[in-house]
Structure 1
């Protein structure tokens, strides 16, 4: 029975997971190695909840209750009472494996471990833990409070009991579940990222400008956001790492990351979070950079 949820990483995804878990009534321990990130995260969550109160999606009492259920800490040992710990750090396998190595000795033997990875092998990550049978992928979409879908991914060793507990937890968050097999990038990113990569190739080859490509897909395919705008929102470094996982894992040239995507990442133009990507966000309104 999951009552206490630990979240590792107080970035955008970790914040969102903590927020929806607390609204659903779970006690949440949010951990990050940087204490200032915890403070920022708690302020962000409080602000998000206040907006939900303002738009009548939550009552003020529900906001207070949710905030009272979230504790922040820069000490990993505070995760020791968690029944489920979800890792939501950067999409880098070596970083994730290192965290699991530090985390496993702290956790209760029966505690479940999950990763919010958007592309990496669940089976391979599970092998870096002392509990592969109690490990699985719980992949939330960004932004977590808004997006309805969660992908559940079992590793080769994941037991039925772990899978059932994860399904119950996600259902309590009022999310829809899709089950994906443990192949590179699962379902959503296996389809979405090659489309974004193809949009970048379309720009790279001069078929259309940033504005032309995004307008074409918004109005011609009824996408709520153009693919280059979406890439900036996701983060171009994340887009590149997922394309590299697809290219390495499936050994198919159709997944080759576009050289222009590589160039933007090398320039540090990572999208919205760094102020520049396919659009420049430093002024009043975003302006295409090509």
Structure 2
């Protein structure tokens, strides 16, 4: 994936073009008239200009982004594209004509994609002679900012096409979910009825607009309620979306009389008025009932799974929790009652089978945050919590264990790939869990979590199958520890890794003190853990911490070819004389005889700039965490790995009992903590 065609320079098309170019890919943006093309370019310039004003981008970066976009009115310019995405207005005949033309213009290997939000992907694919290389790619507004991408294969879309589109999503920083070709796909299928139900509540006189918006904001954890949101995105879009779904799914999805009346008035929803506290519960029940009903019906139809439904809500709609997480929060019995009550007004509908069965079981939904996916002779263990940067908590580690054991026991796979969904491999452990354990006096729970996590990583380390960590994006703390438990780490050039623990009052607890020292030696392990320095993949490669580094658009093919050729072998290990000059200087500074001086701050006044700068960094870390880390590295270095890893448990309750641990853990995202050494 190097060159992408975008057909349509409107809001969606120009936004897709901008995001694609921002991520380093070449773009051909096409529209029918020069003025349309120029308007699209102006929109991109304006959005990028805002990024410059907010110090997100530099002017020279904007110049490079714009240089990657070729704007034209000539469809023939898409001939050499790897992927062409249609993003024009919703007219089936016009789209079919366009795809018929693109089918003739583009090379035989080009994948054609539609950004339709309402039409059948299969029907559009039939207007071409390449249904195997045709797919739905549904972006969400604003596509340069919203990270969600629904990938919708038609019945004839090949697995290779789906894989290529998932690589495109990864290259462009999108969080993708795989969805069946069904009306509304996944997210709009429950989001549009949520909007519509709000207007029905208003129509029934249950509550006014301010009350409904307030309830929605509090219940779903969002910044705008349905009425304000419709004012921003367009009431006509809401009405059209309801009509589109109703035409295929029935009257429940049809726009309410109140929504149609507001559309016909041409006015925005009036947002003024007093909140009626007496109506809050009924409004919440109605809104939740509508969402729960539709979300669980998606399972019945096999449109997608509950993990991706929740992910779509959190990433695409920016809800705090997805529908199934909310059902678990309110309780399955309550969720069932809310749906059953709502459907009393719809005698032709029944409670979806999956919700009915879950209600009978009386247990929460089992939402999987780590998935095992068989991909030919590769088994993929995918951490799928991108809204939280795939952070490790009790549930995620349990799911990781189960998914890995499934992969390891699958006789059809020769290697297991560990990877993270979204923009991170794994950005560490879930800090909130640690804080809660400290505040509630549950340090034993924290100990059990860490002990179990160590056992999971040990099983990965000791697996008879080849295990490859595919590291893209962030790999901090527990994420780097997970990667180090694999046989081979293959990173993209965008990967960044490090151990930030001593900067938040604790030390690495999932084997980081032991595996790191075994690969790069005690001196450099102590340097990385003491300083918390974050290093890019190329630097990690140069010191022996990772095995391979490839460009993001090459990594997948490189992994496959190395495994197929039997050449995927570990290359980690001490470089010694091959170390870059900076690390040749650092290594002797962290020899055993110098450690006490570092811990006591004796190098703060060093005349050597590197030494003084490093000492200043270490002086900002938690003193007790530094001493424990040093002690654990030394104690475990000569032991068997499994025994060395257990050294991290020996002082776990002690470090988490310190005031510095609570200070550091609660400082995350708020600024640099000040440690007291106690």
TM-score normalised over the length of structure 2: 0.38
**For residues 91 and 231 of structure 1, do their structure 2 counterparts lie closer, same or farther at Cα, with a shift above 3 Å needed?**
farther
User: Counterpart of 1:151 in 2: which secondary structure?
Assistant: strand
State the 1:130 CA deviation.
Answer: 2.1
Q: Does 1:43 align with 2:42?
A: yes
| Counterpart for residue 175 of structure 2 | 176
Contact 2:210 2:272 in 1 (8 A): no
Residues of 2 paired with 1:244 and 1:169: CA distance?
32
State the 1:28 CA deviation.
Answer: 0.8
**For residues 287 and 142 of structure 1, do their structure 2 counterparts lie closer, same or farther at Cα, with a shift above 3 Å needed?**
farther
| Counterpart for residue 521 of structure 2 | none
| Counterpart for residue 259 of structure 1 | 257
Residues of 2 paired with 1:145 and 1:152: CA distance?
17
State the 1:266 CA deviation.
Answer: 4.4
Aligned residues: 273
| Counterpart for residue 147 of structure 1 | 146
Q: Which is higher, the Rg of structure 1 or of structure 2? A: 2
Out of 213-222 and 102-111, give the one that drifted further. 213-222
| Counterpart for residue 272 of structure 1 | none
Contact 1:91 1:238 in 2 (8 A): no
| Counterpart for residue 386 of structure 2 | none
Query: What is the alpha-carbon root mean square deviation over aligned residues?
Result: 2.1
Task: After superposition, give the CA deviation of every residue in 1:145-172 in whole Å (9 maximum; x if it has no partner).
Answer: 2212111111000001111111101101
State the 1:64 CA deviation.
Answer: 1.1
Residues of 2 paired with 1:170 and 1:221: CA distance?
27
State the 1:217 CA deviation.
Answer: 1.6
User: Counterpart of 2:105 in 1: which secondary structure?
Assistant: coil
Q: Does 1:60 align with 2:35?
A: no
Residues of 2 paired with 1:265 and 1:34: CA distance?
30
Which residue among 248, 269, 275 is the counterpart of 1:278? 269
State the 1:225 CA deviation.
Answer: 1.1
Out of 131-140 and 97-106, give the one that drifted further. 97-106
Aligned pairs for 1:50-129 (under 5 A) are: 50-129=49-128
Out of 108-117 and 256-265, give the one that drifted further. 256-265
Aligned pairs for 1:129-144 (under 5 A) are: 129-144=128-143
State the 1:234 CA deviation.
Answer: 3.0
Contact 1:119 1:189 in 2 (8 A): no
Residues of 1 paired with 2:268 and 2:35: CA distance?
26
Q: Does 1:243 align with 2:234?
A: no
**For residues 63 and 74 of structure 1, do their structure 2 counterparts lie closer, same or farther at Cα, with a shift above 3 Å needed?**
same
**For residues 127 and 262 of structure 1, do their structure 2 counterparts lie closer, same or farther at Cα, with a shift above 3 Å needed?**
farther
Residues of 1 paired with 2:9 and 2:272: CA distance?
30
| Counterpart for residue 217 of structure 2 | 218
Structure 1: where are the runs of 5+ without partners? 270-275, 280-285
Residues of 1 paired with 2:225 and 2:239: CA distance?
18
| Counterpart for residue 282 of structure 1 | none
Task: After superposition, give the CA deviation of every residue in 1:92-151 in whole Å (9 maximum; x if it has no partner).
Answer: 323322321232221112211001112322111111222111010111111112212111
Residues of 1 paired with 2:206 and 2:93: CA distance?
38
Out of 238-247 and 127-136, give the one that drifted further. 238-247
Residues of 2 paired with 1:80 and 1:265: CA distance?
42
Out of 168-177 and 210-219, give the one that drifted further. 210-219
Residues of 2 paired with 1:229 and 1:113: CA distance?
36
Residues of 2 paired with 1:30 and 1:278: CA distance?
35
TM-score normalised over the length of structure 1: 0.86
Residues of 2 paired with 1:39 and 1:287: CA distance?
39
**For residues 74 and 211 of structure 1, do their structure 2 counterparts lie closer, same or farther at Cα, with a shift above 3 Å needed?**
farther
Residues of 2 paired with 1:98 and 1:155: CA distance?
19
Residues of 1 paired with 2:50 and 2:268: CA distance?
28
Aligned pairs for 1:185-200 (under 5 A) are: 185-200=184-199
Structure 1 segments of 4+ aligned residues over 6 angstroms from their partners: none
| Counterpart for residue 493 of structure 2 | none
Structure 2: where are the runs of 5+ without partners? 274-678
Out of 142-151 and 230-239, give the one that drifted further. 230-239
- Which structure features the higher share of helix residues? 2
